[in-house]
Amino acid sequence: MREPCADGALGPQVALSLAASVSALAIEVRGLEKTYRTPFRRRKVEALRGVSFSVERGRVFGFLGPNGAGKTTTIRVLMGLIRPSAGSCRIMGHDLPSQVARSRVGFLPEQPYFYDYLTVSELLDLAGRLFGLDRATRRRRADELIAKVGLDRARSQSLKKYSKGMLQRAGLAQALMNDPDVVVLDEPTSGLDPVGRKEVRELILELRDAGKTVFFSSHILSDVETIADEIAIVARGQIQSQGTPRELVGQSLQGTEIVLRLAADAANSDAERSLAAPARAARRIADELTVTLAAEDDVDAYLALAHGLGAKVVSVVPRHETLEAVFLRQIAGADASGSAREGRV
Partner 1 sequence: MTAQPSVAGPAASVGRIWAVALNTFREAARIRVLYGILVLVVASNLLALVMGEMSIREETRVARDVGLAGISLFGSLTAIFLGVFLLYSEVQRRTIHAIVSKPIERWEFVFGKYLGMALVLSVLVALFGLAMALLLGSQGVAPSLAVAKALVLAWAEVLTVAAIAIFFSSFSSPFLSGIFALGLFALGRLTPDIEAAAATAQGTWIPAVATVALELVPDLHLFSISGRMLDGVAVSVHGEFVGWGYVATALGYGALWILGLLAASSLLFQRRDFS
What letter does residue 153 receive in the DSSP assignment? Answer: G
Nearest approach in angstroms of CB 335 to ligand ATP is: 13
| 165 is a contact residue toward partner 1 (CB under 8 A) | no
Q: What 3-state class would DSSP assign to 139?
A: helix
Find the part of the chain contacting Mg ion (CB under 5 A) among 10-18, 65-73, 115-123, 176-184. 65-73
The entry of Mg ion, partner 1, ligand ATP, none near residue 130 (CB within 5 to 8 angstroms by kind) is: partner 1
Which one of 2, 39, 67, 117 is in contact with partner 1 (CB under 8 A)?
117
What letter does residue 10 receive in the DSSP assignment? Answer: S
| Count of Cβ atoms closer than 10 Å to residue 253 Cβ | 13
The entry of ligand ATP, Mg ion, partner 1, none near residue 67 (CB within 5 to 8 angstroms by kind) is: ligand ATP
Find the part of the chain contacting partner 1 (CB under 8 A) among 56-64, 72-80, 296-304, 305-313. 72-80
Please choose, from the candidates 301, 309, 142, 326, the residue with its C-alpha nearest in 3D space to the C-alpha of residue 249: 326
Which one of 26, 127, 204, 323 is in contact with partner 1 (CB under 8 A)?
127
Cis status, amide bond into 84, omega within 30 of 0: no
| 218 is a contact residue toward Mg ion (CB under 5 A) | no
d(CA 212, CA 330): 30
| 72 is a contact residue toward Mg ion (CB under 5 A) | yes
Which one of 15, 100, 263, 303 is in contact with partner 1 (CB under 8 A)?
100
Site for ligand ATP, residues 61 to 120, rule: CB under 6 A: 65, 67-73, 110
| 174 is a contact residue toward ligand ATP (CB under 6 A) | no
Find the part of the chain contacting Mg ion (CB under 5 A) among 18-26, 70-78, 220-228, 267-275. 70-78
Closest to Mg ion by CB, 71 or 169? 71
Q: Which residues pair with 64 in a beta bridge?
A: 218, 233
d(CA 325, CA 102): 37
Closest to partner 1 by CB, 92 or 293? 92
d(CA 203, CA 197): 10
What letter does residue 119 receive in the DSSP assignment? Answer: B
Q: Taking a C-beta distance cutoff of 8 angstroms, is the pair 60, 204 a contact?
A: yes
DSSP H stretches of helix in the chain: 11-22, 71-78, 99-103, 120-130, 135-148, 164-175, 194-209, 221-227, 245-249, 270-276, 299-308, 323-344
Q: Which residues bind partner 1 (CB under 8 A)?
A: 36, 72-73, 76, 79-83, 99-100, 102-105, 107, 109, 112-115, 117-118, 126-127, 129-134, 137, 171, 174, 178-179, 181
Q: Which residues bind ligand ATP (CB under 6 A)?
A: 36, 38, 45, 47, 65, 67-73, 110, 219
